[in-house]
A and B are shown apart, each in its own frame.
Chain A
Amino acid sequence: MTAFGTTRRGLLGAGAALTIPASVARAQGPARGGDPLRVGVMTDLSGPFAGAGSQPLFWGAEVAIELFNERGGVDGRPVQAVTADSQSKADVAINEMERLLGQERLEVVTGIYSSAHAVPLSGRFEQSRKMMWITSAIATAVLKDKNFRYVFRPTVHSDQYGEGSISAIADNAQAKLGLAPDKVKLGVIYEDGPYGTGVASAIEANAKSRNMPIVLKEAYSSTAPDLSTLVTKLRRERPDIVLQVGYNPDITLFLRQAKSGGLRFKMLIGHGAGWSQIDRLTETFGQDVNFMCNVDPAATQMLDWSKLQPGVGDLAKTFMDRFQAKHKLSDPPTHASMGFNNTWIFLEHVLRPAVRKTGGMTADALREAALQVDVPTGGTIQGYGVKFVPPGNPMAGQNERSIAVVMQFENGKSKVVWPTSLGQPIVMPLPAGNAYAAR
């Protein structure tokens, strides 16, 4: 069964892989002295979320921990990851959190792919006074007005997704579509969890602020077996641009039924999760997804590494070399970069100073260290800096320097097209030969 890159032994090993680096590091690298520093890593390694980005998120974190240990850990103390598979189910995520905090007695858990998990988990972490370090879940609602003290999110939040897609449309409407921004009709479809509703609300708010009409805004379940009625309604409303927020089975189902249902548009913009898996989308739809767009933090390979802070480009290259050696993906998804980058930020900028300062890694010491982090823009492999909003603010715990970009697909690769200052010109509307192009 190696034809698909997996053997039974290999997959069983993957679950335990993150517990191995400590011992491997002792054998291979300079991280030799002292007790291991135990860090939880919770992702969805099974269930629908695994194929929608959670698996590469885990792989990215795996590379970060291996590399950190090879480079000596924290003064010789290696990091030992304690892994948990939340199986794409919120109840399993809660049980696993109880295990990690109760039985494993961890002070910090990193990861958390889904906002549907992050929302219930965040309150429990706060109650337990243990650190939750979110590397993926983006719903603004996870942090907004909660005033959490132990929950941190170095990555972007859903409001930034809405700002990204609507700004990209507004900035290019006149030049590319020959329409004033307030004449561009939008159709918004989204999965009905916190992630989808959070991004859709942000899209709506940003569209309203620019007087852009939304002709259809509708939620659906990501496990829905059929979306053809939604396609029919979109066809009736004739949006110029469709904005979708979804995972993976729903995205491919929608694209397939949109094509057979005769839905045509000038542009389709996705918003992370399933839309970040360009390898998979290209495998399924080939050239049909060419020139469609996605909003997300930039995958590191999209950036010009020479423009990052000194040393960060080298780190990005090391990550990419290792990741691609392990996982043969032509264009590693954003989640791979997110997994590495946000775990690396924790290890390098939070764990190391906390341990050095206190000799241990209590949640309070980690929290103090997190609030001191001050990484300038260009200081991480995804291009953004890190500075957490302090307690007492509506978005306490959010990285205020995180950046979402709009990227466009072309032949299985992604390129940044917004912010305009960072990217290349967007191709809009979809070229006439595209299967979904409005005629």
Chain B
Amino acid sequence: MDSFLLEALVNGILLGGVFALPALGLNLVFGVVDVVWLCYAELVMVGMYAVWFLYTQAGWPLWVAFAACLPVVSVLGLLLHLLVVRPLLAAPPINQVLATGGVLFLLQGAMTLIFRTDFRSLGVDMPPMEVGEIFVSGTKLAAFCAALVGAALLWAFLKFTYVGTAIRAIARDREVMPLMGVDPQRIYLIASAVGGALAGLAACLLVVQLDVHPFVGLSFGPITFMICVMGGLGNMLGGFLAAFIMGIIVSVGGFWGTTEFSYVVAFGFFIVTIFARPRGLFAR
């Protein structure tokens, strides 16, 4: 295989790893609470600012800043649920979408007020790995590994803990589980906190790759939603796999054609998927 094509393929897989975490978090929340957090990418953006601030302004070690980012965004997820989503749980879905969309603009505006519109950078870089003629970004590889670990931990939590089992049960049948003694409000809170923590982890991975600014969510937010729908909204494994498919399409499509063409292919694939399998590529 052409070494440059192989490099594009590897880049696609690494890119998929970056998309996978926010897709997991978004799907977890939707699967359990049945509400789309339209502002999910903006939660990630707030997390990126948290890391940037703690590391470059407060002088904390980077790993401590990363560790602090997760609870910060997790609490943000909790607040989002308590203040915005819970009062609207019985409202029509469009109201819920508009409300979380409003939070999107609120967070963008708040970060603009606090941090201005400047592009902020951690200034952290890892040396690339050179394997034969292939270059692999050390930063992207580390982010990819962290994404896999995060996904594995989430899987273990959902599979092997009582709360995780309750979350999966609620995701499967929201009506019946309360009759069996599961408190849905508590599960919603936990799912929102875990969804927020996943956004925090995604923030840690993205902040070393992208500059932080109030509108950075535009770079990965739309494609994350597309991935979730393609994998099946609420289907965590589906979203996880769809992230890699999308990463590879974007990367290899860009190699064979142009960068713009790759997104045409990706969106074309998405449309065909939705027509062929309206509930998502991996819907059971």
Residues of A within 8 A of B (CB): 1, 3-6, 8, 11-12, 45-48, 50-51, 55, 88, 192, 218-221, 223-230, 232-233, 235-236, 248-249, 252-253, 256-257, 259-262, 280, 283-284, 286
Q: Which chain A residues border B125 with CB–CB below 8 Å?
A: 256, 259-260
With A and B bound together, what is the CA distance between A192 and B258 in angstroms? 12
B273: Cβ under 8 A from any A Cβ:
no
With A and B bound together, what is the CA distance between A88 and B130 in angstroms? 39
Q: Which chain A residues border B11 with CB–CB below 8 Å?
A: 226, 228-229, 232
With A and B bound together, what is the CA distance between A224 and B15 in angstroms? 12
Q: Which chain B residues border A283 with CB–CB below 8 Å?
A: 121, 123
| Min CB gap B114→A, angstroms | 6
With A and B bound together, what is the CA distance between A390 and B115 in angstroms? 44
Determine whether the beta carbon of B259 is less than 8 Å from that of A230: yes
With A and B bound together, what is the CA distance between A261 and B11 in angstroms? 10
Given contacts A224-B219, A233-B4, A260-B137, A11 and B15 within 8 Å (CB-CB): no
Q: Which of B208-226 contact A (CB under 8 A)?
A: 209-211, 213-216, 218-220, 223
Determine whether the beta carbon of A229 is less than 8 Å from that of B251: yes
Q: Which chain A residues border B114 with CB–CB below 8 Å?
A: 1, 6, 8
Interface string of B245-279 (1 = CB under 8 A from A): 00000111011001110110000000000000000
Looking at chain B's contact residues, the main secondary structure is helix
Given contacts A46-B117, A228-B251, A284-B123, A253 and B210 within 8 Å (CB-CB): yes
Determine whether the beta carbon of B259 is less than 8 Å from that of A218: yes
With A and B bound together, what is the CA distance between A47 and B105 in angstroms? 11
B8: Cβ under 8 A from any A Cβ:
yes
Tell me the nearest residue of chain A to B138, going by C-beta.
A260
Determine whether the beta carbon of B255 is less than 8 Å from that of A233: yes
Residue in contact with A48 in the complex, picked from B109, B130, B213, CB distance below 8 Å: B213
Q: Which of B172-227 contact A (CB under 8 A)?
A: 209-211, 213-216, 218-220, 223
B113: Cβ under 8 A from any A Cβ:
yes
Tell me the nearest residue of chain A to B224, going by C-beta.
A225
When A and B form their complex, what is the total count of cross-chain residue pairs whose Cβ atoms lie within 8 Å? Answer: 135
B7: Cβ under 8 A from any A Cβ:
yes
| Min CB gap B209→A, angstroms | 7
Q: Which chain A residues border B95 with CB–CB below 8 Å?
A: none
Determine whether the beta carbon of B121 is less than 8 Å from that of A221: no
Determine whether the beta carbon of B137 is less than 8 Å from that of A45: no
| Min CB gap B106→A, angstroms | 13
Determine whether the beta carbon of B119 is less than 8 Å from that of A51: yes
Determine whether the beta carbon of A192 is less than 8 Å from that of B119: no
Could you say which interface size class chain B belongs to?
35 or more
Residues of B within 8 A of A (CB): 4, 7-8, 11, 15, 18, 57, 108-109, 112-119, 121, 123, 125-128, 130, 135, 137-140, 209-211, 213-216, 218-220, 223, 250-252, 254-255, 258-260, 262-263
Q: Which chain B residues border A230 with CB–CB below 8 Å?
A: 254, 259
Determine whether the beta carbon of B119 is less than 8 Å from that of A260: no
| Min CB gap B75→A, angstroms | 20
Determine whether the beta carbon of A260 is less than 8 Å from that of B112: no
Q: Which chain A residues border B214 with CB–CB below 8 Å?
A: 46
With A and B bound together, what is the CA distance between A223 and B15 in angstroms? 15
Determine whether the beta carbon of B213 is less than 8 Å from that of A261: no
Residue in contact with B116 in the complex, picked from A6, A12, A226, A256, CB distance below 8 Å: A6
Q: Which chain A residues border B112 with CB–CB below 8 Å?
A: 11, 46
Residue in contact with A260 in the complex, picked from B8, B139, B254, B258, CB distance below 8 Å: B139
Determine whether the beta carbon of A261 is less than 8 Å from that of B128: yes
Determine whether the beta carbon of A262 is less than 8 Å from that of B130: yes
Residue in contact with B211 in the complex, picked from A232, A253, A262, CB distance below 8 Å: A253
With A and B bound together, what is the CA distance between A236 and B6 in angstroms? 12
Q: Which chain B residues border A262 with CB–CB below 8 Å?
A: 128, 130, 135
With A and B bound together, what is the CA distance between A108 and B197 in angstroms? 50
* Sample of 30 A–B contacts (CB below 8 Å): A4-B118, A5-B116, A8-B114, A46-B117, A51-B117, A51-B213, A221-B263, A223-B219, A225-B15, A226-B11, A226-B251, A228-B11, A228-B140, A229-B262, A232-B4, A233-B254, A233-B255, A249-B119, A249-B211, A249-B219, A252-B119, A256-B209, A259-B125, A260-B128, A260-B140, A261-B128, A261-B137, A283-B123, A284-B119, A284-B123
Determine whether the beta carbon of B121 is less than 8 Å from that of A4: no
With A and B bound together, what is the CA distance between A45 and B130 in angstroms? 42
With A and B bound together, what is the CA distance between A224 and B125 in angstroms? 20
Q: Which chain B residues border A260 with CB–CB below 8 Å?
A: 125-128, 135, 137-140
Determine whether the beta carbon of A229 is less than 8 Å from that of B128: no
Beyond A4-B118, A225-B220, A233-B4, 8 additional pairs, beta carbon < 8 A: A11-B112, A46-B108, A218-B258, A219-B258, A229-B8, A233-B255, A256-B209, A260-B127
Q: Which chain A residues border B260 with CB–CB below 8 Å?
A: 192, 219-221
Question: What are the 4 A-B residue pairs with the smallest beta carbon separation, nearest first?
Answer: A50-B117, A260-B137, A229-B254, A262-B135
| Min CB gap B262→A, angstroms | 7
With A and B bound together, what is the CA distance between A346 and B57 in angstroms? 41
With A and B bound together, what is the CA distance between A262 and B214 in angstroms? 30
With A and B bound together, what is the CA distance between A343 and B44 in angstroms? 39
| Min CB gap A231→B, angstroms | 8
Determine whether the beta carbon of B251 is less than 8 Å from that of A280: no
